[in-house]
Amino acid sequence: MNNYVSKRLFQGFICLHILHHAKKKPFYGSWMLEELSEHGYKLSPGTLYPILHSLEKEGFIEHYDKNVNGKIRKYYIITEEGVNQLNESKKYVSELVAEIGL
């Protein structure tokens, strides 16, 4: 991605995307990497995991461990505070989209 503005939007969009999916159903890291890449966001685990950790530290998502075929997998889900953040951000996004158009 070479577009300066898009680059700056990238992190926020990823946070919104993560919160959106964490609200729908629990997900694990590599699932999210694949989901994001389908939307054209090519990111490495080294980029995604710090974002997940900071969202968790802020209290917007939380995780639980699940044993999947002998491997411990971290599943992330949204918290009530995360739902508030998502709703508030969606308001800003839709206002902006209404103004600049699609």
Binding-site ranges for Zn ion (CB under 5 A): 35
Name the closest residue to Zn ion (Cβ): 35
CB 67, min distance to Zn ion, A: 26
CB 40, min distance to Zn ion, A: 11
Contact predicate 76/96, CB 8 Å: no
Nearer to Zn ion, 37 or 87 (CB): 37
Residue whose structure tokens are 């694990």: 28
CB 8, min distance to Zn ion, A: 20
